[in-house]
Structure 1
Amino acid sequence: MKYNIVFVNGQAFNCYQSMCLKDLLIYLNFDTNLVAVEYNKEIINSSFFDAVILKSQDCIEVITIAGGG
């Protein structure tokens, strides 16, 4: 099986060539309902996480949304 190298919050990560953004977030234990994601300098709506297929050298920034008062 072939892999791509993507960068998640600045760190290199090997992922399967057919992996989508949603699969990567779940694999990394992010709650997809509580994150904001920048994919190659573009904010991605969570409804499109499963449509974004990762490519080699993609840059992903994940920001966790925390509640509180």
Structure 2
Amino acid sequence: MPLVMTQPISITVNGDTRRTEAATIAALVRELGLKPEKVAVEHNGEIAPRSTLEDVALTDGDQLEIVHFVGGG
């Protein structure tokens, strides 16, 4: 099986432009040090259901807003 090299893409996360090789929203969330099950994500103006984060592919120019939940008492 040939090695597939991924090219970095440019996306906007919470207003900041960043480059990533993450293929999916879930991979990006993990790259940011967060847990996919503890975030809410808006992807290009649409809420991405948490159950689909592993399946939603990122493409160059995507815009995301990511909110993570912090537990406390």
Q: TM-score, normalised by structure 2?
A: 0.82
* C-alpha separation in 2, matches of 1:11 and 1:48: 23
SS in 2 for 1:19: coil
Structure 2 CA distance for aligned equivalents of residues 23 and 67 of structure 1? 22
Q: Which residue of structure 2 lines up, in the alignment, with residue 27 of structure 1? A: 31
Matched residue of 2:47: which SS? strand
Q: For residue 66 of structure 1, report the CA deviation from its aligned partner.
A: 2.6
CA-atom RMSD in angstroms: 1.4
Distance 2:19 2:11 in 1: 6
Higher strand share: 1
Match of 1:46 among 45, 50, 56: 50
Equivalent residue pairs, number: 68
Give the gaps of 5 or more residues in structure 2: none
1:64 alignment partner in structure 2: 68
Supply the distance in 2 between the matched residues of 1:66 and 1:27 (Cα, whole angstroms).
18
Larger Rg: 2
